[in-house]
């Protein structure tokens, strides 16, 4: 039985500070020399970049529907063997979604630490905390609980009012309202950490602020009582602490049966586009390709690099609209991709990768940029989100799971060969196009959910 200190960071809604708290805690403990493994609930690509910078380690997604329970248990067991601390950032609100972050916490027995934005709030803070903890679940199983931390606090007096409102739900302190803690955003979510010049300084600022809270003062060593500052905070608030050291949040992660991936991509080389324009890549998808026997090599269209020798290409999602002019000038990358296609070698292009292959892109301001022209048609950026949610692709030989999240629409003479569906309703959502050896869709696939379908996307088996 392997055990590790673990917390699930949640909130009543988005934009409360989940990513800020998770990344700040990861930075705080990584600076102290601890091995921190961060996970993200749901199929998010962007928050993990901040967590990776904070922890210094790859970040993996946890979604009970997309991954499945077996995959989640395997990842957490492995992480517990290699880490001192596991942090899991929730998705949306704590109880949102089916399954929700609260469902993961209950399933695995991981205590929940909630961050609540306290802007324009006083005693209601305690009511929200109480409701999050005691919201009923069909199983009747109580929610494992670590406590709450306030965000966007205006003053020490404000912090005192919040603390007094919390009756039994373990108040661990607050983060002041300070623009230095905010993480920059754009239309799909947070700006990728590597694009922010002072990203590390921002993380250090949050870590420094957390170090001054009762949570930050909680000792790491097993068997220790609360530190002086944590004890003083407890005396001031009258709240009984649930933990006297971080070790009180140590959770057992039993070893599940190991499931090896079939070697359906053995002796095949897959070239993956990876740069600031095409950066929506699950670390787990790269692991899946390796696990299926493929050799993975990388190239950068944004740097106008030629396609390396390969049997197949994966063009992942990203932000081609932010780099459209440079991508349009990337003639070396475009021509080598055209030669690959002319040779009849497979290409799997998803979301932003598909956008790049169309003839042109129209921005929200009406300006137009020529792209690579390997797919007929064009894409147009939309003022609002065009699609969002979990999806599945039923593909003759099996079902591949994943999700969609995009701000553009495409217009093409190509007829779809299939559509993804919403798992809850079976409703058709995104088209799947085939043009010669190119397969393209807005669908972001989770490769390990069906290795046979994944292998067919890369030409390793007969596609239906």
Contact 417, 433 (CB under 8 A): yes
H/E stretch holding 159: helix 156-165
Q: Which of 41, 114, 310, 351 is catalytic?
A: 351
Phi, psi of 403 (to 5 degrees): -155, 175
Instruction: Find, among 374, 390, 20, the residue nearest to 210 by Cα.
Output: 20
CA distance 336 to 334: 6
CA distance 212 to 160: 15
Could you tell me which residues come within 8 angstroms of residue 464 by beta carbon, excluding any fewer than 6 positions away? 395, 396, 397, 456
**Residue 408's beta-bridge partner residues?**
381
Phi, psi of 153 (to 5 degrees): -90, 130
Phi, psi of 305 (to 5 degrees): -85, 145
CA distance 277 to 357: 13
Structure tokens at 400: 């591949």
H/E stretch holding 5: strand 2-10
Instruction: Find, among 220, 207, 213, the residue nearest to 249 by Cα.
Output: 220
Could you tell me which residues come within 8 angstroms of residue 400 by beta carbon, excluding any fewer than 6 positions away? 392, 393, 445, 446, 447, 449, 450, 453, 454
H/E stretch holding 200: helix 199-211
Provide the phi-psi class of 140: left if phi over 0, else alpha when psi is between -120 and 50, else beta: left
CA distance 18 to 55: 16
Q: Please say if 224 is a catalytic residue.
A: no
Pairing of strands 360-362, 368-370: antiparallel
Cis peptide leading into 99, omega within 30 of 0? yes
**Residue 23's beta-bridge partner residues?**
none
Active site residue ranges: 351
């Amino acid at each position: 039985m392997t055990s590790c200190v673990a917390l699930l960071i949640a909130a009543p809604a988005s934009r409360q500070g989940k990513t800020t708290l998770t990344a700040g805690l990861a930075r705080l403990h990584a600076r102290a020399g601890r091995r921190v493994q961060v996970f993200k609930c749901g199929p998010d690509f962007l928050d993990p970049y901040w967590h990776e910078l904070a922890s210094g380690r790859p970040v993996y997604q946890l979604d009970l529907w997309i991954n499945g329970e077996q995959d989640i248990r395997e990842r957490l067991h492995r992480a517990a063997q290699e880490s001192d601390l596991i942090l899991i950032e929730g998705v949306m609100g704590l109880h949102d979604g089916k399954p929700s972050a609260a469902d993961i916490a209950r399933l695995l027995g991981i205590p929940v630490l909630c961050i609540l934005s306290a802007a324009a709030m006083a005693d209601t803070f305690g009511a929200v905390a109480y409701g999050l903890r005691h919201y009923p679940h069909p199983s009747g199983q109580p929610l494992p609980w670590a406590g709450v931390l306030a965000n966007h606090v205006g003053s020490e007096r404000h912090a005192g009012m919040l603390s007094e409102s919390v009756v039994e739900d373990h108040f661990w302190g607050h983060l002041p309202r300070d623009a230095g803690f905010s993480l920059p955003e754009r239309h799909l979510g947070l700006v990728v950490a590597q694009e922010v010049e002072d990203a590390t300084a921002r993380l250090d600022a949050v870590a420094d602020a957390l170090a001054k809270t009762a949570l930050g003062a909680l000792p790491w060593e097993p068997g220790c009582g609360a530190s002086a500052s944590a004890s003083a905070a407890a005396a001031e608030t009258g709240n009984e602490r649930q933990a006297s050291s971080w070790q009180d949040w140590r959770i057992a992660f039993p070893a599940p049966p190991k499931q090896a991936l079939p070697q359906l991509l053995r002796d095949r080389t897959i070239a993956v586009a990876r740069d600031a324009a095409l950066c929506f890549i699950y670390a787990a998808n790269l692991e899946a390709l390796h696990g299926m026997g493929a050799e993975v090599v990388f190239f950068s269209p944004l740097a106008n690099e030629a396609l390396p020798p390969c049997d197949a290409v994966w063009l992942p999602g990203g932000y081609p609209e932010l780099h459209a002019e440079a991508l349009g000038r990337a003639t070396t990358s475009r021509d080598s991709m055209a030669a690959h296609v002319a040779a009849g070698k497979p290409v799997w292009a998803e979301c932003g990768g598909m956008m790049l292959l169309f003839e042109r892109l129209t921005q929200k301001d009406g300006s137009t940029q020529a792209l690579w022209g390997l797919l007929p048609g064009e894409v147009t950026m939309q003022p609002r989100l065009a699609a969002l949610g979990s999806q599945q692709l039923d593909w003759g030989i099996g079902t591949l799971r994943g999700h969609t999240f995009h701000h553009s629409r495409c217009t093409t003479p190509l007829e779809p060969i299939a559509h993804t569906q919403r798992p809850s309703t079976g409703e058709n959502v995104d088209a799947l196009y085939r043009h010669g050896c190119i397969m393209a869709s807005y669908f972001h696939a989770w490769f390990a959910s069906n290795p046979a379908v994944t292998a067919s996307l890369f030409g390793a088996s007969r596609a239906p």
